Structure formats: structure tokens, C-alpha cells
Structure 1
Amino acid sequence: MTIYPELNGKRVFITGASSGIGAGMAQILAKQGCKLVLHYCRNESGIAQTLDRVKVLGAQAQVVRGDFRDYASLGQVFNQAWSQFSGLDGLVNNAGLITKTTVLDDVEGEAFNQTLAVNLQAPYRLSSLFAQACIAAKQPGVVINNSSIHGQQTCEWFSAYAASKAGLDAMMKVMAVEWGQYGIRVNNLAPGVVPVERTVSILKQPKFKNPWMKAIPLGRYGSVEEMGAATAFLLSDAAAWMTGSVLTLDGGLIARGSYPYRD
């Protein structure tokens, strides 16, 4: 794992850190020496486990709770996060809902609206508060949004999820343009198929694994640790001239597209 000395002591707020990619990000950033503010919504055992793991790695860490479906509460959540270490240097908007439903099964848009609330409106609000605070403090900052390959290319059942991630990619570019003058960089991470706690056993089953292995040029799934390593890179000085970009980590899945397979 690449070590970025400049990240030592940097204060980073990670949303959705109780499991999955968020927990993986927390562990990698802990190894970089970051001070972490870890957010969760309902998974108390999960956030406790993440907290224990990063503290074993020597990181200073605090926890905040918030339900991102409640837009009015986001200001309070951010203020709590900002106050833990007297400011923040980075914001990682990782929390999100993976919604699978057909359009005709969600005609009233309940799942659609809830997905956009968590996946798009919450990052908008938290990012704007972060930028505002950084500007007031006369300091630079870094925003990273956990997007998805579904923001670029999608399939059945993902109208809400894909819309939220495509919106996140577009929103990121606007923020990068508007905030570059203040030294605030904004980039997105777009993971492909990354097994997490709720999917690891399913993705091991041959009926699911075999088609994915055929479709992914590198022939394997990604890992939460690799997503964490990419996050560290985006926070680091190695990406100092990178803003307004989507960093896709999918083993080549999107690049291959939907062409017929040539055996």
C-alpha cells in the first residue's frame, strides 16, 4: 500500500462507515495516520467494529450518527463532524442506498425519492457546508463522492440508483469548477463490483460469479481495501492537480461494454 506522509494528521469525515466500502476506507486512511470522523445511521455494531479496527491501527477517531433521509438534520450532523477535531480537511460522501426496483413497481416514486435524498441531496448539502466552512477558515479541502459505474452505464432495476449516481457525477463537476478558486478539489470514485458483507456469499455462488468473471477483463472482483487506497490517493498531494474527475475502478467492466464475447 502506498503511504502518503502528507495525510498524517489530516481530519477526514467518512459517511456510511459502519460497513462495506466505508469501513474499508476508514481502515486504509487510519493506516495513513488520518484523524477520522465516522458516520453511521443504524448499524451500531458495525460502527463499533470499524471504530475498534481504526483505533487498533493507531488512529484518532470519533463517531457521529445521522439519518440522511432527514434533510433538515444534515446541518447538525456536519457541525458535529467539523467540531470533533476543530475542523476537517476532507469529506468522503460514501453513505448511500442501493435501490433495485423497476420503474413500474415504483410508479409513485417513493423509492426513487428516498434514493435521491440519501445518494444525491445529502452529498450536496454536506459538500456545500464543507466548502463554506473551508472558505471561512481560509483553508483548502478535498471532497470525494462514492459514485458508481451505474452513473456511466446501467441496466434493469436501477433507475433510482443510476439517476442518483449520474447526478452525483454531474454535480461533482460543477462543484469542482466553482470551488477550484478556493483550493477545494472535488472528485468521484466509481466502483464496479465490490463484495461487501451483505453480498460476499452471494457473489461467491457460481451462477453469479461465473458471468461476472467473464465480463470483467481483469477476472476478479474489487475489494473495499482497493477503494480505500483510491480514496487515499484522491486525498493526497499525488492528486493535487486532479479535480472534476471520475476515477473508475471496475476491472475494465465499463471499458468492455456490451459487445458480443469472442472466444
Structure 2
Amino acid sequence: MTLDLTGRRALVTGGGSGIGRAVVAALVEAGADVAVHYAHSSEGAAQAVADAEAAGRRAVAIGADLTDSAQAQRCVEEATAYLGGLDVLVNNAGHLVGRSPVEEMSDEFFRQVIDLNISTAFFVTRAATKALRASGSGRVVNMASLAAENGGGPGSVAYATAKAGMLGFTKGLAKELAGDGVTVNAVAPGFIGETAFHETFTAPEARERIVSGVPLQRAGTPADVAGAVCYLASDLAAYVTGETIDVNGGVLTR
């Protein structure tokens, strides 16, 4: 059995940059047609579409603020209409936003982090459920984080809380959709270099310290995460649901 996604129709949220962009590329390489959602990375999404088309796949970029349920609904409808259905949903959209200790954290900041990381996944998944059920072998892959399991770095309580919520969302949804042949799993990246996330929020000296504590002695790459996503989206993982794959170089093992 090989990892073959030929003919599968996938929507990747936050697919214009970072890990999401790598996920789009990996899905395309495996044969999938893709809808690339973006909020701010319009140029990256456009390039991802161009790359997919150059590889002979069908692709479309869709801009939307997924914290707005109406826009999330529109995004899914546009993706499903363009692709002719939906087999794979990758809930990748999310952000740390910033670092803030709890005693200084505003209501607005906390709600923003929760909305960007959890509400987006809920709104999109709710809108996509009908199409995923109709697929007969639908796949949902949620993006969690090592922070969900170890509390994250300084000032990331809100983010860790949101990503821990993603794990619960994954397990509950897996049970809810199992009867229709839809699997729901999560990927929890650790320290992934080559992304704007850590360039913005992690100082160079902190990055060096983190990498020195990784058993595999290197930072992860977006492609490392994309490989796990593709596995979960494929028939190789047809009997896997409600699970989380940790992509952290051995920092945390179960």
C-alpha cells in the first residue's frame, strides 16, 4: 500500500504560509486537488495554487476570516463547489498572537487566541461535515501543538489552552463522525523552524537552547509536519481516529 491521494479533494485552512503551505504542497505531490484558504497570506496562497496547477492538480485560493462563522461557511461552500465535494479537511489556521502572563492578560486577548485557534476549526468543520460524510471516507486533520501537552513557553497560557482544546475537539468529533466513515485526528508539532512563528515569537538564543534539548538534535521542518498530515489523510490511516501524532523530535513521548 502506498500513500496515494489521487482524486482526493482537500481544504487546508491557513494554507498560504508556514506549515499550512507545506501541507498544501505535500497533498498536491500525493495527488490531491486543493482549496487553499488564507486570511492574510494572499501572495503565498496564490503561489501555492500556481505550484499545484503546474503539477497538474486543480487548485483555488479562498480568502476568509474564519473567526466569522458566516465567512467560514462561505469558504467551505466555495471550496466544495470548486472541488466538486470534499474528502479532506485540514484545520491548520491558528496563531499564538503574542505572549502574555495571565495576570496581565486582557479579556480581548484571551478571546482572540481562543477564536483564532478553536472557533475557526469549529466553524469550518461544522460547515464541512455534510460534504465529508458524503465522501464516504472523509478525513479531518486538526493542528494541535506540543504546547497542548506541556503548557508551552513563557506567556503562552492562552495558546496552550486553545491547543489543548483542539485535542478534546478531535477526540469528541472522532466519535461523532465515525459512523459515517469519517476519521478525525490531530498533529501536534513541537519546535518547527523555518516559520515566521518562531522568527516572531522566539529569540535566536532561545531557539538554540530549544534545539539543543531535542533528542534528534535538530529543529523540525514544515515538511515533517506535512508528512504526518498526509499519512492521516490517506488510506494508510483508515483505521486510525481520535489520535494525535506528535512531531517533536522526541521531546515528548507517550
Q: Output the TM-score relative to the length of structure 1.
A: 0.89
Q: Where do 1:242-261 residues align within 5 Å?
A: 242-255=240-253
**Aligned residue number for residue 148 of structure 1:** 145
Alignment of 1:38-187 (within 5 A): 38-99=36-97, 100-106=99-105, 108-135=106-133, 137=134, 139-154=136-151, 155-187=153-185
Mean CA deviation greater in 176-185 or 116-125? 116-125
Q: Distance in 2 between matches of 1:35 and 1:193?
A: 29
Q: Which residue of 2 aligns with 1:198?
A: 196
User: SS in structure 2 opposite 1:50?
Assistant: helix
**Aligned equivalents of 1:199 and 1:133: distance in 2?**
32
Shift, 1:64, TM fit: 0.9
Q: How high is the TM-score relative to the length of structure 2?
A: 0.92
Compared with structure 1, are the counterparts of its residues 200 and 175 closer, same or farther at alpha carbon in structure 2 (3 Å cutoff)?
Answer: closer
Displacement of 1:200: 6.6
Distance across 2 between alignment mates of 1:33 and 1:138: 17
One-letter code aligned to 1:215? G
Whether the aligned pair in 2 keeps the contact of 1:71 and 1:117 (CA below 8 Å) is no
Instruction: Report the Cα distance in structure 1 between the residues aligned to 2:231 and 2:175, rounded to whole angstroms.
Output: 20
Deviation, 1:132, is 2.5
Farther-moved stretch of structure 1 (54-63 vs 9-18): 54-63
CA distance in 2, matches of 1:62, 1:213: 36
- 1:219 match: 217
Q: Percent identity over the alignment?
A: 29
**Alpha carbons of 1:201 and 1:105: their partners in 2 closer, same or farther (altered >3 Å)?**
closer
Amino acid at match of 1:145: N
**Residue by residue, what CA displacement relative to the aligned partner does 1:102-148 show, whole Å, maximum 9, x if unpaired?**
21222x3211101111211111121122222333x362300000110
Q: Deviations over 1:163-209 (max 9, x none)?
A: 11000100110110111111010000000111234257679986234
Distance 1:189 1:222 in 2: 13
Compute the displacement of 1:3 (Å): 5.2
Deviation at 1:69, TM superposition (A): 2.4
Q: How far apart, in 1, do the equivalents of 2:167 and 2:59 lie?
A: 29
Q: Please state whether the residue corresponding to 2:196 is helix, strand or coil.
A: coil
User: Could you report, residue by residue, the CA deviation over 1:23-57 in whole angstroms, capped at 9, with x for unpaired residues?
Assistant: 00011111111000000012222212222222233
What is the distance in 1 between the residues matched to 2:148 and 2:199? 25
CA distance in 1, matches of 2:207, 2:82: 42
Q: How many residue pairs align between the two structures?
A: 252
Root-mean-square deviation over aligned CA pairs: 2.2
Q: Who is 1:29 aligned against? A: 27
Counterpart secondary structure, 1:253: coil
Which portions of structure 1, spanning 4 or more consecutive aligned residues, are displaced by more than 3 angstroms?
199-206
